[in-house]
Amino acid sequence: MASERSLLGRLAFRFRRRLGAKVFATVCAFVLWFFVNAGERETQVIPFPIELRNIPERAVQTNADRVDTVSVRLNGPGPLLASLDPKRSPIVLDLSRAEIGSDLRLKIREEMIRVPRGVRILDIEPSRIPVHLERVKRVSVPVTLAPVGELRDGYKVQGMKATPEKVQVSGPASIVDRLTALETESFDVSGLAHSARKTVGLVRPDQLTVKPETVVVDIDVAPALMNRELRRVPIEVRNVDRPFQVRPPHVNLTVQGPQRTVQNLTLDANAVYVDGAGYEPGEHTVEVEATLPAGVEVVKRDPATVRLEIRDPEAVRPKMTPEPKPKPTHAVKSKSGAKR
């Protein structure tokens, strides 16, 4: 009898030991059980993301029917379904044994989807994930520029250059092999009247990596040139102090220069000339010269040369004929002896 009392006492002592913690754990377990089993069950379709791991080195997924999420139909208590965060529990597919160039269809198994106890998986759509791996290729391609807009009237683009002129592109071999150049994003040159520099992004096709992602474009702007013909411009003769004659006395000039300057060009009366300095009397073939505004030049003369005749004043002076001396007159006596 005493031993039975002693046994009961030990059991009672053990039960009372840490009684508060045991009661708390029991309450928590009951609440959890009630939360899982006593709530009203619901059916929901929740998207779960796909995460590919251990992709072989220098390989990339390229299939057009790529699947990034699967729809999973779940049944369980509403509060449990509402607490799910699929982004924190992606479906992981291991590609460590996949071969480059092969077409795979990987099955999604229920154990890959992490859901709380009390939630049942009813359906997975799609249940297989297509995966095609392709070799990664890296090449260097030239950059082409894509300017838009018109410069200010009277100006033109002398040249444009991208720095760097080539960029490194890497991606699936099937895409990289078709790539001949990489174009910049459109950049505006409207209204420019001077050279400029712009930093411009590159248009990157899908699945490609580009380094660098921007280039510096130098735009060289210069005045637009135009030609204009000036007809029958009179020729002035300079630095000649003798009689002269120029043939023909007029010349047709074609000038070239900035559009605005040439359009409004008016020549002074003595702007077109021949320089007779150093020439001796005689006929000379000379080139017509012109005094023009800065940036304007003569590109054609019609005629190309003219004839300049310089005369010697002594050679052309008429010779003077001396006047004849008057003959002396003598008195003639008449027979009568009287002078007549």
For residues 220 and 191, the answer to whether their CB atoms sit within 8 Å is no
Which tens digit of pLDDT belongs to each residue from 231-248?
999 999 999 999 999 999
Task: Report the CATH number at residue 198.
Answer: 2.170.120.40
pLDDT band, residue 314 (cuts 50/70/90): confident
Asked, for residue 257, whether it belongs to a domain, the answer is yes
Identify whether residues 186 and 236 lie together within a single domain: no
Identify whether residues 205 and 275 lie together within a single domain: no
Among 222, 242, 266, identify where a domain stops: 222
Give me the domain span that covers residue 218: 145-222
Asked, for residue 321, whether it belongs to a domain, the answer is no
Note the pLDDT of residue 336. Answer: 47
For residues 143 and 215, the answer to whether their CB atoms sit within 8 Å is yes
Identify whether residues 78 and 14 lie together within a single domain: no
Cα distances from 33 to residues 41, 50, 121, 231, in angstroms, run 14, 31, 20, 107
pLDDT band, residue 319 (cuts 50/70/90): low
Identify whether residues 46 and 126 lie together within a single domain: yes
Q: Is the pLDDT of residue 302 over 80?
A: yes
Asked, for residue 328, whether it belongs to a domain, the answer is no
Rg (CA), the chain: 53
Q: What is the DSSP letter of 327?
A: P
Asked, for residue 115, whether it belongs to a domain, the answer is yes
Cα distances from 199 to residues 126, 150, 168, 188, 316, in angstroms, run 45, 19, 18, 12, 76
User: In percent, how much of the chain has pLDDT > 70?
Assistant: 81
Q: Name the strands in the sheet holding 289-290, side by side, starting at the edge strand that comes first in the sequence.
A: 236-238, 272-275, 289-290
Note the pLDDT of residue 260. Answer: 87
Identify whether residues 130 and 50 lie together within a single domain: yes
Task: Report the CATH number at residue 253.
Answer: 2.170.120.30
| Residue type, position 289, single letter | E
Among 222, 257, 276, identify where a domain stops: 222
Which tens digit of pLDDT belongs to each residue from 140-189?
999 999 999 999 988 999 999 999 999 999 999 989 999 999 999 999 99
Q: Is the pLDDT of residue 120 over 80?
A: yes
Q: Is the pLDDT of residue 14 over 90?
A: no
C-alpha 34: how far from its chain's center?
A: 65
Which tens digit of pLDDT belongs to each residue from 205-231?
888 999 999 999 999 999 999 999 999
For residues 241 and 311, the answer to whether their CB atoms sit within 8 Å is no
pTM beyond cutoff 0.85: no
Cα distances from 18 to residues 14, 15, 22, 329, in angstroms, run 8, 8, 7, 185
Identify whether residues 230 and 195 lie together within a single domain: no
Identify whether residues 196 and 211 lie together within a single domain: yes
- For the chain, helix, strand, coil in percent to 5 are 15, 45, 40
**Strand bridging mode 272-275 / 236-238:** parallel
Identify whether residues 45 and 130 lie together within a single domain: yes
Q: 37-55 b/e with 16+ CB inside 10 Å = b?
A: eeeeeeeeebebebebeeb
Residue 326 CB-density burial (10 A; 0-12 exposed, 13-18 middle, 19+ buried): exposed
Among 206, 222, 238, identify where a domain stops: 222
Task: Round to whole Å and give the CA distance between 223 and 228.
Answer: 16
Asked, for residue 325, whether it belongs to a domain, the answer is no
Asked, for residue 331, whether it belongs to a domain, the answer is no
Selected residue with higher pLDDT from 128 and 320: 128
Residue 103 in tokens: 């077409």
Note the pLDDT of residue 339. Answer: 45
Identify whether residues 156 and 132 lie together within a single domain: no
Identify whether residues 80 and 126 lie together within a single domain: yes
3-state secondary structure 175-187: HHCCCCCEEECCE
- What's the domain count of the chain? 4
Residue 81 CB-density burial (10 A; 0-12 exposed, 13-18 middle, 19+ buried): buried
Asked, for residue 339, whether it belongs to a domain, the answer is no
Paired with 157 in beta bridges are 221
For residues 165 and 143, the answer to whether their CB atoms sit within 8 Å is yes
Q: Name the strands in the sheet holding 91-94, side by side, starting at the edge strand that comes first in the sequence.
A: 91-94, 41-53, 69-77, 120-125
- Positive or negative, the CA dihedral 161, 164, 165, 167 is negative
Identify whether residues 206 and 243 lie together within a single domain: no
Please report, in angstroms and rounded to a whole number, the separation of the first and last CA atoms in the chain: 222
Q: Which of 291, 59, 311, 76 is nearest to 170 (CA)?
A: 59
Asked, for residue 189, whether it belongs to a domain, the answer is yes
Identify whether residues 160 and 128 lie together within a single domain: no
